Chains A and B, each alone.
Chain A
Amino acid sequence: MVLVKRLVLDVLKPHEPNALEFSQALAKAGGDYRVCITVLEVDKKTETLKVVVEGYAIDFDAVESGISDLGGSLHSIDEVEVQSEPQAG
């Protein structure tokens, strides 16, 4: 089984909710997620973010759904860190 440990995403979002609320909502997508957001660019109505998500086993679909629920749009997956786990038995 391959576990996703770290994701670096390029995300476009409206100004609201702000980066703090956005990161908190994404962290809630998993039980042990650590989320770090860097605002790269601020436009009139939008912000471009670098979103780093770390966790034991990241559910990408849940993260993507969290982003779109808050009005954000995932532009690209810039970095990924995965780890295989030995199968039991």
Chain B
Amino acid sequence: MNLLEQPRFLLRITRTNDIIRRYFVVNGFDGALTMLGLIIGFLVSGATDLSVIINVCLGAAIALGVSGVSSAYVSEVAERKRALGKLEDAMITDLRDSAHGEAARGVPLLIALVNGFAPLAISLLILTPLIAANTGFALPVSPLYVAVAIALLLIFMLGVFLGSIAGVSWLRSGIQTLLVAILTAALIYLFAGY
């Protein structure tokens, strides 16, 4: 089996394809909304040094990534051990050296990496205009507004992805998640705009 086939096989035999997809969307959404919240917070607070904004957002992104990896790993190790134990009871045999045993060890790591990578990658994409502006790249509009636009676009795309999974209208699903982001922005302006 090649490098991609093996993880796919392990996910398939443990029936965790949907779990990994769910983790990607849920934590990706967390990352995008957190960055959106931070950037809008900085926008309503008035002018702040760009490097401060980047460091604060980067700190939050790294924390989301590490939190995603560690929390998913701990919970998935417990879940996979439990599932393997139940399967061993049904088979009345030790499955540690089988594909199921390998899956019980490898799948938590895969899920943890996806769970940590999703918010980190999405956060870094949102921070791209801030980092570009800070390194001297001239943008036609404020990098904070570009970052907000990227965050809204990524949140919309996550909705489109969910729509394609559910087999419903991608546009409707994308607009639904976009409305959540707009509601978040409105709440921040309402409570933090003093």
Contact = CB atoms under 8 A, between A and B. Distances in A.
Interface residues of B, number: 16
Contacts of A46: 90-91
A69 B99 contact: yes
Interface residues of A, number: 16
A43 B99 CA distance: 20
17 contacts: A12-B91, A13-B91, A14-B13, A14-B90, A16-B13, A21-B9, A44-B90, A45-B86, A45-B91, A68-B98, A69-B97, A70-B98, A71-B13, A71-B91, A71-B99, A71-B100, A73-B91
Interface of A: 12-14, 16-17, 21, 43-46, 68-73
Interface string B113-140: 0000000000000000000000000000
Contacts of A21: 9
Given A17-B99, A44-B90, A71-B98, 20 more contacts: A14-B13, A14-B91, A16-B12, A16-B13, A16-B15, A21-B9, A45-B86, A45-B87, A46-B90, A68-B97, A68-B98, A69-B97, A69-B99, A70-B99, A71-B13, A71-B87, A71-B95, A71-B99, A71-B100, A72-B98
Nearest to A14: B87
A73 B13 CA distance: 16
Contacts of A43: 90
